Structure 1
Amino acid sequence: MRIQKIELYHIKMPLKFTFKSSQTTLKDRETIIIKATDELGNIGYGEVVAFNEPFYTDETLMYSKDILEYVYIPNVINKKIEHPFQIHLWIQPTYPMALAGLENAIVDLYARRHKKSIMDVVFNEETNKSIYGGIALGDLEVENLIEQIKFYKNEGYNRFKIKIKPEDGLDKLQGIREEFPHIQLLADANRSFKKGQIQILKQFDELNLTCIEEPLDSGDFQEYNILQEEMNTPICLDESIQTLEELNTAIKHKALKVVNVKVGRVGGLYYAREMIKLCRENNIQFWIGSMIESGISKMLHVHLASLKDTYIPGDLSPSKRYFEKDVIMPEITAQDGMITVTKGYGLGVEIDENVLKDYTIDYKEIGEE
């Protein structure tokens, strides 16, 4: 297989609501859609999920764009590729989100070319045909959070992740837990607590949380070890874990009980698979997170979340929750809180080229026609 052409669509998708965390506020979502074409005309799609500002990781969308155009894509154009994961021999994951988007497009292309699904290419094991959806809610007033949880519970959802900050996170979660004693409840602090606030964090144990995600601003594994020894609530790491080496170190330091695996953050499906293997070997729970992203990346996470030993439902909900129109056909939908894992080759969905072009604010083509 040879990649003959790669197209980069820098898109801007208006959100249906303003999403707030302790680190940022989003009204629109800009990403880069990568379209790869081989010498036979087969096509695959991937997505770069970096943000415009470096609040989540240091990699920004513009860094991703430049490294793709001038370094990563020239390394794969017109080279013979036996398997998509071969590109990891040529490219270091210095910019993991850029690398993930490129790899995902090549995996999708390869799967379609060989008439296989994404999971047939990446994992050789039985998976679930449908998955439970999960709702991630921003840093909102507690009354608003309770109202939204009521709405989504009526839609069949039972797993909710709440963005929190030190000033009022505990109060919000206490209010939610009082109203909903039996839901699966997670807290995501996005590194907003300091080492000196451990006593506040210990109070979260009374809330029966499924886990607390990224509480400490330092990201120091030794500090997480101390915190986990003092807390009953499982600590889940997300943005602190970008490489296999970091995950291995965190496990050795006993800094976590759970890890949130996001394909874009860790550098692609190859690295996601290796992290899942490492978790299985060390009795660390894993679950499949998600970004605010288009259906191209979201559907990839739906497939990954179909693994039978995932810890909890991921941050996966219908396309219509975020966007008036997604770029995939069919869009992601849920019935009674359940999402069907698409069948078919590659991602199992098609791309609505008209919608993609409508959202495009910049376009580049690299390689031959």
Structure 2
Amino acid sequence: MRIEKIELFHIKMPLKFTFKSSQTTLKHRETIIIKAIDELGNIGYGEVVAFNEPFYTDETLTYSKDILKNVYIPNVINKDMEHPFHIHLWSDPIYPMALAGLENALVDLYARRQKKSIMDVVFNEETNDSIYGGIALGDLDVESLIEQINLYIKHGYKRFKIKIKPEDGLNKLRAIREKFPHIQLLADANRSFKNGQIPMLKKIDELNLLCIEEPLYSGDFQAYKKLQEEMKTPICLDESIQTIEDLNTAIKLKVLKVVNIKVGRVGGLYYAREMIKLCRKNNIEYWIGSMLESGISKMLHVHLASLKDTYIPGDLSPSKRYFEKDLITPEITAENGIIIVPEGYGLGVEIDEDTIKDYTIDYKIIGGE
């Protein structure tokens, strides 16, 4: 296939609630939607899920936009490629979220062109037709957390991730576990615990968590190795694992038992697939996270979560939980906590360009001359 034109939509989507973690507070979600068009008029869409500030990784949305316009997109315009993964042969993944957004658009286009689903062109294996959703809750007070968990249990959800920080995280988790002894529960510390707070961190062992995600402020693998040796709760790494090399090193050092895989963070579906292969080879559990993203990117995670050996339900819940109007049709919905994996070509959903344009704050066309 040959890519003739790419359109960039810098969008700003208002959130239905203020999302808080130990690192940030968000009331809107800005991302970049990439629309790729080939010589036959086929179209594919991807999303760049970097944030405006470098609280999650060093890559910001400004950096993503610049490298897309000046390097990554010029590298693919009018270039013949047999498979979209060939983009990784000539693109340095120094900005993985930008590269992932472009690769995702090319994979969606390629799959639609081949009249296949995303999973058919990325994985050649049987997948589930539906997945359990999972609820990620921000840094809320205990009463609000218990209220939210009660609400989502009534809607069929069984797995909950709680954002925590050293000041009150342990007390929140204890209160939740006392109230809900049987739910699947995990904690995400977003690198908020310093070395002097490790004794407090170890007390989490009493709460029977599925895992604790990114607890240490330092992000140091040797510190994680020591901590995992002293804790029975599995350590899950997220933003510490950005490359295949990171994961391979972490496995060799035995610093983790679980890894959270997010397409944008790791540089695209190609790298996500290779990480999953490495996890399978080394008996490391993996599960599919999410990036507070629109349905264009979140649907990729729905597809990945349909793999039969994922560890736990991902951070995947209905579009309406986050946005008044998402960018896909149909939007992501859940019945009794279960999300149906779409069967159509590419992402399996249609893209609502009118809504994209409503949210657009900047627009750029590259190619097509």
**Aligned match of 2:204:** 204
**Aligned match of 1:236:** 236
SS at match of 1:92: coil
CA-CA distance at 1:165 after TM superposition: 0.1
Q: Within the alignment, does 1:38 sit opposite 2:38 as a pair?
A: yes
Distance 1:198 1:325 in 2: 42
| TM-score, normalised with respect to structure 2 | 1.00
After superposition, what is the alpha-carbon deviation per residue over 1:11-34, rounded to whole angstroms, capped at 9, x for unaligned?
Answer: 000000000000000000000000
CA-CA distance at 1:73 after TM superposition: 0.3
Counterpart amino acid of residue 16 in structure 2 = K
Pairing of 1:1-369 with structure 2 (within 5 A): 1-368=1-368
CA-CA distance at 1:215 after TM superposition: 0.1
Distance 2:70 2:9 in 1: 16
| TM-score, normalised with respect to structure 1 | 1.00
Distance 1:114 1:354 in 2: 26
CA-CA distance at 1:198 after TM superposition: 1.4
Distance 1:14 1:170 in 2: 31
Q: Cα RMSD (Å) of the superposition?
A: 0.5
Distance 1:353 1:197 in 2: 48
After superposition, what is the alpha-carbon deviation per residue over 1:1-60, rounded to whole angstroms, capped at 9, x for unaligned?
Answer: 000000000000000000000000000000000000000000000000000000000000
Aligned residues: percent identity?
83
Distance 2:69 2:61 in 1: 12
Unaligned runs of 5+ in 2: none
Distance 2:227 2:185 in 1: 20
CA-CA distance at 1:195 after TM superposition: 1.6
After superposition, what is the alpha-carbon deviation per residue over 1:315-368, rounded to whole angstroms, capped at 9, x for unaligned?
Answer: 000000000000100000000000000011000000111111000000000001
CA-CA distance at 1:278 after TM superposition: 0.3
Distance 2:128 2:221 in 1: 33
CA-CA distance at 1:197 after TM superposition: 1.5
Counterpart amino acid of residue 122 in structure 2 = V
SS at match of 1:334: coil
Counterpart amino acid of residue 231 in structure 1 = M
Distance 1:14 1:344 in 2: 28
CA-CA distance at 1:223 after TM superposition: 0.5
- Aligned pairs, how many? 369
After superposition, what is the alpha-carbon deviation per residue over 1:261-302, rounded to whole angstroms, capped at 9, x for unaligned?
Answer: 000000000000000000000000000000100000000000
Distance 2:300 2:285 in 1: 20
Distance 1:92 1:234 in 2: 33
Distance 1:195 1:263 in 2: 30
Distance 2:166 2:253 in 1: 25
SS at match of 1:97: helix
CA-CA distance at 1:92 after TM superposition: 1.0
